[in-house]
Amino acid sequence: MPSLADLARAQTSLREDDVVHLQRLVANWGLLADLCFADLLLFAPVAGDGVESDEDRFVILGQIRPTTSQTLYRSDWVGVTVTEGDRPQVARSYRRDELIEGELDVAALRERVRVQCIPVRHDGRILGVLTRESTPSIGRPPGELERTYVELFNRFAQMISSGDFPFADEHSRSEENPRVGDGTIVLDRSGRIEFTSPNGVSALHRIGIHASLDGRHLAELGLGDDIARTAWSFAIPVTEEIERGAGITVVISCIPLIERGEVSGALVLLRDISELRRRDRLLLSKEATIREIHHRVKNNLQTISSLLRLQGRRLSSPEARAAVDESVQRIQSIALVHDILSREAGEVIPFVDILRPLLRMVEEGLLPTDNRVHFRLEGDAGELPATVATPLAMVITELLQNVVEHAYPGAGATHSGEVVLGLGYEGRELLVTVVDDGAGLPPGFTMEGSSGLGLSIVRTLVETELSGRISMHKSDGPGSGTVVELRIPVGRTWPASAAVGASRPG
């Protein structure tokens, strides 16, 4: 379904600031639909061939159904174009710039529809017409609550036709903002309460207010005077949260009613959001607990690393000491992930924050001091879930360790080389490449025939934990060298600009 802005630009001659005004109206008109117990439609004249609009045709830019009553229309009308013959009241209201009420036959329904047409004014010009559409009420007299709500809607209708609603600085109402059914208070011109809905009374009872309400100011009830004072002084809606007792939170929204440029009263909406705030606190507590768990896991892994180092220093066998050092590197690569998770909110990690210290760790811990082999990182993997980042960090550690041991053999000799770790995306796969300019693969080498522990760990993690694929082949560049490619499915498509492969060292 096209948006209001798309329809307005394609079929009307409305200016950009006019479209913004209509978008504000549509973003806040759930309040109006609930007050009038009816469907609301927004009409704008279709642009003609010339500069002027073709006022014989109107396009429906928006539609909303009430939550306080049944809807007339099950189908969507947005984008439908109607003629003056279809909607004579709309055309007359637009041309005369006046509120018009009447009835008409709608082809989609088997009964007549009562229509109230409200011209929408902005910056001194009429942009379109807002219609309230409902079935004619026959027989049953409306109750006090219904009469009050409809009277409030009519006051908002006057504000729309005079250009005072929607408010220029008001943004769309959030999901936490109260609605008409949550609880309503009406303030008169002096700021005193003249009506309170049953749900409004219940909301006040939940925060401990049981006093008589009629004729009282909000400040007399202990709700604070800032809300009403600000709404009256600046003629803008004000929303505030009030906490009472243990875990009781009510959000209050004060919307001024303007008549002839002056505030003539206000609509106050209340909503008990205690349960929402309780869930928010639980989520924060849960996140803090999870971060603390990651922090403790990281500390435990570092303790294990330290114990292994102490044990390694007591070993006389070079092979045993090398095996212990490799285990320490594997543990530290996992500890890096938990270190990031202990500082981040959530279970996704900027993977580059793991790779940078990982490369430094490999350079400082694995390479002999007289080896001049450098590691370089290209591309970015973005944010990865911990379930992917942890095994992938281990895989990369094993691959870099394998490069040091086999691509540049001969400890004690002087070597110069470069290892490039590349990250990028191809469709829904994360592509990781490790490219070196070392000795290359031995004759007849295959991944399946390799019996080394490091490559066995890599193959197991890639295929089982990451559900990916791994391959090794000779570098395409001049001289020797090896390219290792990992393809990891991540379940999301990335733009072509993110598909950055590793460059080949020359």
What is the chain's pLDDT, residue by residue, as a tens digit (506 residues)? 789 999 999 999 999 999 999 999 999 899 999 999 999 999 999 987 444 445 589 999 999 999 888 888 888 999 999 999 889 999 999 999 999 999 888 766 677 899 999 999 999 999 999 999 998 765 567 789 999 999 999 999 999 999 999 998 765 555 667 889 899 999 999 999 999 999 999 888 888 888 888 899 888 887 766 888 888 989 999 988 888 766 788 888 999 999 998 999 999 999 888 777 777 777 666 667 667 776 787 788 788 888 887 888 888 888 888 788 777 877 877 777 777 767 765 677 788 888 888 888 777 665 454 556 778 888 888 888 878 888 888 888 888 878 877 767 654 445 567 888 898 888 888 899 988 887 777 777 777 767 677 788 888 888 888 888 888 888 766 557 888 888 988 765 444 444 444 333 33
My answer on whether 435 and 420 are in the same domain is yes
My answer on whether 241 and 137 are in the same domain is no
My answer on whether 444 and 470 are in the same domain is yes
Q: What is the pLDDT of residue 413?
A: 46
Q: Is residue 351 part of a domain?
A: no
Q: Is residue 419 part of a domain?
A: yes
**Residue 190, token pair as written in the block:** 């002096």
Angstrom distance (rounded) from CA 314 to CA 321: 9
Q: Structure pTM?
A: 0.61
Q: What is the pLDDT of residue 286?
A: 67
* Sheet of 81-83, strand order: 81-83, 53-64, 39-47, 125-134, 112-122, 100-105
Q: What is the pLDDT of residue 496?
A: 40
- Which residues lie closer than 8 Å to 293 by C-beta, 6 or more apart? none
- Report CA-CA distances (Å) from 23 to 27, 33, 40, 166: 6, 16, 14, 9
Q: Is residue 301 part of a domain?
A: yes
Q: Is residue 128 part of a domain?
A: yes
Which domain-ending residue is among 109, 132, 162? 162
My answer on whether 197 and 184 are in the same domain is yes
Q: How many CB atoms lie within 10 A of CB 393?
A: 25
Give the CATH number, domain containing residue 243: 3.30.450.20
Which domain-ending residue is among 272, 302, 317? 272
Q: What is the pLDDT of residue 495?
A: 41
My answer on whether 484 and 408 are in the same domain is yes
My answer on whether 504 and 424 are in the same domain is yes
Expressed as residue numbers, the domain containing 422 is: 365-386+395-506
Contact criterion met (CB below 8 Å) for 397 and 305: no
My answer on whether 155 and 50 are in the same domain is yes
Give the CATH number, domain containing residue 427: 3.30.565.10
Which domain-ending residue is among 135, 162, 189? 162
Widest distance between CA atoms in the chain: 102
Q: Is residue 171 part of a domain?
A: no
Angstrom distance (rounded) from CA 387 to CA 394: 12
My answer on whether 401 and 473 are in the same domain is yes
Contact criterion met (CB below 8 Å) for 325 and 312: yes
My answer on whether 221 and 262 are in the same domain is yes
My answer on whether 130 and 72 are in the same domain is yes
3-class state of residue 86 by DSSP: coil
My answer on whether 242 and 107 are in the same domain is no
- The tokens 């007299």 sit on which residue? 141
Q: For the chain, how many structural domains are there in total?
A: 4
Give the CATH number, domain containing residue 16: 3.30.450.280
My answer on whether 424 and 298 are in the same domain is no
Q: What is the pLDDT of residue 12?
A: 94
Q: Is residue 358 part of a domain?
A: no
Q: Is residue 204 part of a domain?
A: yes
- Report CA-CA distances (Å) from 287 to 278, 345, 353, 477: 14, 7, 20, 48
Q: What is the pLDDT of residue 111?
A: 75
Q: Is residue 426 part of a domain?
A: yes
Angstrom distance (rounded) from CA 29 to CA 157: 11
Q: What is the pLDDT of residue 504?
A: 37
